[in-house]
A and B are shown apart, each in its own frame.
Chain A
């Protein structure tokens, strides 16, 4: 009964999405005279309620482990802890798609409820576009991945969840990225709506901005967490592999970063209108392309457990309709949209445009590198594109971007003179140069990490300069957010550069009782013992590691063998200090009884993820700041309207 209720709610929600779409387009067509126009907002709101109900039913089914539902039987188990039962509801294709449409429905309902800034016609167009996107995903769910499908002969017990995915981090990693993608879909609907009515105004940018900010924060967190998971779980000691799936999450982030900045220019300066629209379309298309690459299995990747070619076809069709349609509309409409306010090259806008172009170039490089194997495979040549391409080619655009990022926020809007901020530029340049000279004299560092260290240190200082001379208690939250995010980028950069410049690696065969050194660490192999878990066996090394002869800390890295399905994983062990991490992996046993130990000392590697969190924190600050000031404006507008009404009444 619960499953049927969920399915019925889902069909009804899909019907309302269709209504929202049709009524929306009709209202745009006849300028709101149609009788259906009044239905658009209620349709969006009820749709949000229904799809939430549907998702709630699925979670309920998982909570009570109803094995007559196919999805529950193939992904859950009655003995699983409750948290993994609940997370199991969206830890699979069907459930995650339902989560996606639920968040999308809620977002639509929220816009319909609170967004009153835009002209009604643009609002109708936006909700119509949102209806199209939602309807596509409903079709996907209902026609090819029904989460509520029953089984005629329910099994006695469920199959359980892939053991690798039973990790608390992975309970939150996919939904976080998903929420980010959905946020970008809302931005996409706003962009299409504004394009349909040609009303690309600062108000449009203000309405879109919180969604972009929210999506961007979630993507930042998702990428940071995913990177850390790959770092400790995959046991290669690396934190970024330029894997297609990693790139698939990075590309929407790059586009969203560019969109965020250009929407800010549009909101406060009424410039960059078409460019913002374009980025709104690109950002969402990158999340769709990412989903497509992950789900279709068209590129080989570590995320291969999510693969299904038939679903890939469905997503490709949706992608073609959404993005192809939007780009067609863009090609036909964009030249009728005024570019907006002009500005001088040396201005805040100028710096933002420069960095927008750089971000887009990096995005193009990552996209090209990710799709290149797909292209050559069409000619039967197999290649894999990795760090030797991405790192240097990306750096060509990243380095000027970082330099402009350091001083851009100091420039004034519209028009400024570069020599006005001459001192700050000199300070940044001096810091970078000093760091360059210092590090190249002190240690032998490769070019890219050297540049990264120097620019990171310079940027860390320069990013704080916008606060100078301001009354800190009166500085808007959005400015604090910008400073925190830019500082976070510097911190991450220093972490990355330090990791690749100063990491020491040691591969040693050590007998029990023997020791190995790496950097300042001395590691003693105290023993190796077999251990067993619920569905795996492992050998576990007991290592005592001491830093510069200090007190020893015990590490227990494992090499695990799962038997259903047969799989070998390494569980690395870490010792974190303020100045870096010791990373240990235990390997095979050599014929003479010694054990292979792989040790890394990675100075300041943790800064990579702390920086990422700082960037996200900056985004949260900016989001809160924007929402609060929106609220204030709204209250002010209400009060003005009230007074005017009073005055009219008196008159």
Chain B
């Protein structure tokens, strides 16, 4: 009979142990995409501004691996990321941009000020494509292989030491 009286204490100790363990774990706020390893879902985005080309599944079907960069002109980390995208482009990566909930004139102004590393830019006004490929924020960058399969996801802005990592991932799927 009296062992039952210890059950609450035992259950409570379990809770404290679990909570203490979780408190010591570094908090990982990134939501990783479940689409890595899967083919891109069907999509067809209009060009983001005058003089740009839109993107669709066909863009990724020519056997050449590319970076797919999710960004927006209203996104501050995207400004920090711009020079590193430029250096990726200089080192031979082809970058396709998807502008999230953006306006053509703002996009043009952003690219004029911070440089245009993109070969094509599509406009995703409702975040449809963003959500479909499992991106939860801006900016994010995906490595897409020559058959249109998502191979790698980079969450957050690209820093200097991410550039070689992304180049290596591109090389892996070539």
A positions within 8 Å CB-CB of B: 278, 281-282, 285, 289, 292, 296-298, 309, 312-313, 316, 319-320, 323-324, 327-328, 330-331, 334-335, 371, 374-375, 377-378, 588, 591
Contact in complex: B18, A335 (CB < 8 Å): no
| Residues of the A chain whose Cβ atoms lie less than 8 Å from the Cβ of B22 | 298, 374, 377-378
Would B9 and A374 count as touching, CB distance under 8 A? no
Residues of chain B in range 30-51 having any CB-CB distance to chain A below 8 Å: none
The contact size tier of chain B is: 10 to 19
A334 near B23: Cβ-Cβ < 8 Å: no
Q: Would you mind naming 22 contact pairs between A and B with Cβ atoms under 8 Å apart?
A: A278-B8, A282-B8, A285-B12, A289-B15, A298-B22, A316-B23, A323-B12, A324-B12, A324-B13, A324-B16, A327-B12, A331-B2, A331-B6, A331-B8, A334-B5, A335-B1, A335-B5, A371-B18, A374-B19, A378-B18, A378-B22, A591-B125
Whether A313 and B23, one on each chain, are in contact in the complex, defined by CB atoms closer than 8 angstroms, is yes
How far is it, in angstroms, between the C-alpha of A331 and the C-alpha of B2 when the chains are bound? 8
Given contacts A327-B9, A331-B6, contact A292 B27 (CB under 8 A): no
Instruction: For the complex, give the distance between the alpha carbons of A327 and B5 in Å.
Output: 9
The reply to whether the CB of B20 lies closer than 8 angstroms to some CB of chain A is: yes
Q: Judging by beta carbons under 8 Å apart, are B9 and A324 in contact? A: yes
Contact of B2 among A282, A335, A375 (CB under 8 A): A335
The docked-state distance in angstroms from the alpha carbon of A299 to that of B27 is 10
Distance in Å from the Cβ of A369 to the closest Cβ of chain B?
A: 14
Q: Which residues of B contact A298 (CB under 8 A)?
A: 19, 22-23
A324 to B15: give the CA distance in the assembly, Å: 11
* Contact between chains at B19 and A292 (CB < 8 Å): yes
**Taking each of B1, B15, B18, B20, which has the highest tally of chain A beta carbons within 10 Å of its own beta carbon?**
B15
6 shortest interchain CB distances as A-B pairs: A327-B9, A331-B5, A331-B6, A335-B2, A334-B5, A320-B16
Asked, given contacts A335-B1, A591-B125, whether A327 binds B20 with beta carbons under 8 Å apart, the answer is: no
Residues of chain B within 8 A (CB-CB) of A281 are: 8
Nearest-CB distance from B12 to chain A (Å)? 6
In the assembled complex, which residues on chain A have CB atoms less than 8 Å from the CB atom of B13? 324
With A281-B8, A327-B8 already in contact, 7 other A-B pairs whose C-beta atoms are closer than 8 Å:
A296-B19, A316-B23, A327-B12, A330-B9, A331-B2, A371-B15, A378-B22
Distance between Cα atoms of A316 and B21 in the complex (Å): 11
Q: Which residue of B lies closest to A310 (CB)?
A: B23
Bound complex: CA of A378 vs CA of B2, how far in Å?
Answer: 32
The residue from B1, B2, B5, B23 contacting A296, defined by CB atoms under 8 A apart: B23
User: Which residues of A sit under 8 angstroms from B5, Cβ to Cβ?
Assistant: 330-331, 334-335
| Smallest beta-carbon distance B76→chain A, Å | 9
The interface residues of chain A lying within 8 Å CB-to-CB of B9 are: 324, 327-328, 330-331
Contacts of B20 in A (CB 8 A): 316
